[in-house]
Structure 1
Amino acid sequence: MKNSKLFSDLSLLGFLLLSFIVVVFTSFNQGSFVQNVVFMNIAMLLAIITYFTNLTIGLILNLIFIFLEGSYALYISITTSQSFGTSLYFWLVMTPLFSVMIYLFGYHTLQLQEENTQLERKNRQLGILDDETRLRTMRAYKEDAQVFMSTSRRFNLPVTMVVIQVKYWNELQRMLSDEQISEVVRRVTNTMKHAIRDNDILYVLNRENLTWGLLLFTDQDGSRIVTERIKEFFEESANEFSSQNQVEIAIRTGAKQFDAETIQTPYDFIEAAIKELEYDV
């Protein structure tokens, strides 16, 4: 991130320096003032196009500009015997420099934005509570799951991991607005809170492919009762949302009872439960 910030700052300073040079050059070259203003506008236009497209398109447009400018200068030189001074050569250099500098600024700024997004994602993963749902996150789950698994081994108590996902979540994100997506997340979360017991612990395990998790002191049959109750509660809540937004929302669940021989880590526990989602279609 430090390198991207440095290069972004240097690119911006380079662009400002080029602009300063253009202003000074235009001020001291009054004989070609109109011509310089026209070339400056063209240079800025090409720089803007480069910023919103890519460097390849920008350089191609600059080559076309250089060709047309050279052709125009050659035509004027042949027909009027008029020679061009430093102004022509100045803009032949400055115009592509503007485009390159603004591209570098945009490129490194975009890198900074991507790095910030990754940092925010990591912070959400490392945080104990999810910002939106106020549920415990993957970090908290890892610690709690170790306790549940150790308790199961020591006292031979059944422990089951339940995972819940919204069906066709990736497609829904493209169809719904940010407010509607938040409403879906809130409805699913509230449904599960009402459907479970006070001593059951609910988690947000994945924010990208939105996945909730639930640790239960029960066996496979007991978890089936819980998941059926969650689906029943959610169906009642989803009917209102579906009728208002003309989109069908449904959830799928998977549950896996802890097996000390096949499940060694909290991640194994999640993976085993996620595999059970395949059977809920």
Structure 2
Amino acid sequence: MEAKKIDIWVIALAIVAYGIVNLFHLMPKEFYFENMIMLSLLFAAGLLSYFSGMIFALGMAAVVIFFYGSYVMYGNVVLGNPVESHVYYWIVFVPLIAALSATLGGRIRKVQTDNMKLTREFEEFVTVDQHTGLDNVKAFYGVLNQHMGLSRRFKLPLSLMLVNLTYYDDVRGIVGPERMRDILKAIGEQMVQFTRTEDCSYMLEDGRTFALLLFTNREGALVVKERIKEGMKRFNLDNSAKPVSIKTELRIGITEYEDHEQDVLGFRKAAEKDMEYDV
């Protein structure tokens, strides 16, 4: 609805501007310099009003009309010049253009503000990584907290696995950012394939680290780790633009949830620390 209103104001402003330009050519040629100055002031007022708002627009239009009216009055009273019809046109068109421009600018800024607000709200509530299709870090911490609670209550084994692509920056520099997104998506799909349905896969906030929540102990997680590494050995990164073939190397860290006093951040840090020893 707001977009339709903006379209209406744009059309109205275009029609008025078109009429002013055509009317300018019909005005008496002996007042060409005066009318040229007023035309320039009119469009300057319209441009500034677009960015400044209605109050500033009407104030600026009042100032322009005041000085122009004083000039016309001086010519009529002191010099005895008659008041020509084009004077009334400028007195009407200056505030009209200023008001139209201010209204249009205000509505466009409102649409931009609403769009930015909706974008921020969307980013706050979205729980899926747009490049890999996996759940993102917001969903990860929520589910991790739930799984830790289930593990404590029902004595279920729970392991956290973090998977990181080795030499990420170097690989990205070789294949490019678009191809890198495809590679991360492919790696994520491989990990989902190598895990069970009840296990959960995530893409963390750095855009390069995967997290897997596994309902198994450390020994079972090590089996998954070897399965992932063996599967990724057959996954080569070929860049068609350059004669370079790269084998994927993953660094994987595993930690089992045994310390029930541990919170979600501590659980993650334990997996990150274990990943440092995976060479």
Same topology, TM > 0.5 = yes
In structure 2, what is the Cα distance between the partners aligned to 1:276 and 1:82?
Answer: 90
CA contact (8 A) 1:133 1:189 kept: yes
Shift in CA distance, 204/15, structure 1 to aligned 2, threshold 3 Å: same
Show the counterpart of 1:192.
Answer: 191
Alpha-carbon offset, residue 214 of structure 1: 0.7
Larger Rg: 2
Partner secondary structure for residue 161 of structure 2: strand
1:1-281 correspondence runs (5 A): 14-15=9-10, 18=13, 31-32=26-27, 39=39, 43=43, 47=47, 85-122=87-124, 124-125=126-127, 135=134, 139=139, 142-143=142-143, 146-147=146-147, 149-151=149-151, 154-155=154-155, 158-165=157-164, 167-168=168-169, 176-177=177-178, 180=179, 182-194=181-193, 196-198=194-196, 201-206=199-204, 209=207, 211-220=209-218, 223=221, 226-227=224-225, 230-231=228-229, 233-234=231-232, 236-241=234-239, 253-264=252-263, 267-268=264-265, 271-272=268-269, 275-276=272-273, 279=276
In structure 1, what is the Cα distance between the partners aligned to 2:163 and 2:14?
Answer: 56
Once the two structures are superposed, what CA deviation does each residue of 1:69-97 show, in whole Å capped at 9, x if it has no partner?
x89x97xx98xx68650233344334444
Alpha-carbon offset, residue 233 of structure 1: 3.9
CA contact (8 A) 1:149 1:159 kept: no
Shift in CA distance, 50/198, structure 1 to aligned 2, threshold 3 Å: farther
Once the two structures are superposed, what CA deviation does each residue of 1:120-154 show, in whole Å capped at 9, x if it has no partner?
435532xxx77875655654874576346423554
Unpaired runs of 5+ residues, structure 1, are: none
| Cα RMSD (Å) | 5.7
Question: Which amino acid is 1:111 matched to?
Answer: T
Question: For this pair of structures, how many residues does the alignment match?
Answer: 252
Shift in CA distance, 261/148, structure 1 to aligned 2, threshold 3 Å: closer
CA contact (8 A) 2:147 2:158 kept: no
In structure 2, what is the Cα distance between the partners aligned to 1:107 and 1:251?
Answer: 47
Shift in CA distance, 102/251, structure 1 to aligned 2, threshold 3 Å: farther
In structure 1, what is the Cα distance between the partners aligned to 2:273 and 2:259?
Answer: 18
Question: Which amino acid is 2:183 matched to?
Answer: V
Alpha-carbon offset, residue 159 of structure 1: 2.0
Shift in CA distance, 15/134, structure 1 to aligned 2, threshold 3 Å: closer
In structure 2, what is the Cα distance between the partners aligned to 1:16 and 1:246?
Answer: 55
What is the percentage of aligned positions where both structures have the same residue?
13
Unpaired runs of 5+ residues, structure 2, are: 76-80
Partner secondary structure for residue 214 of structure 1: strand
In structure 2, what is the Cα distance between the partners aligned to 1:274 and 1:102?
Answer: 55
Question: Which amino acid is 2:150 matched to?
Answer: S
Shift in CA distance, 119/278, structure 1 to aligned 2, threshold 3 Å: same
CA contact (8 A) 1:163 1:274 kept: yes
Shift in CA distance, 87/208, structure 1 to aligned 2, threshold 3 Å: farther
In structure 2, what is the Cα distance between the partners aligned to 1:55 and 1:237?
Answer: 57
Partner secondary structure for residue 235 of structure 2: helix
Shift in CA distance, 29/257, structure 1 to aligned 2, threshold 3 Å: same
Q: Which has the higher helix share?
A: 1
Query: What TM-score, normalized to structure 2?
Result: 0.56
Shift in CA distance, 239/130, structure 1 to aligned 2, threshold 3 Å: closer
Alpha-carbon offset, residue 162 of structure 1: 1.7
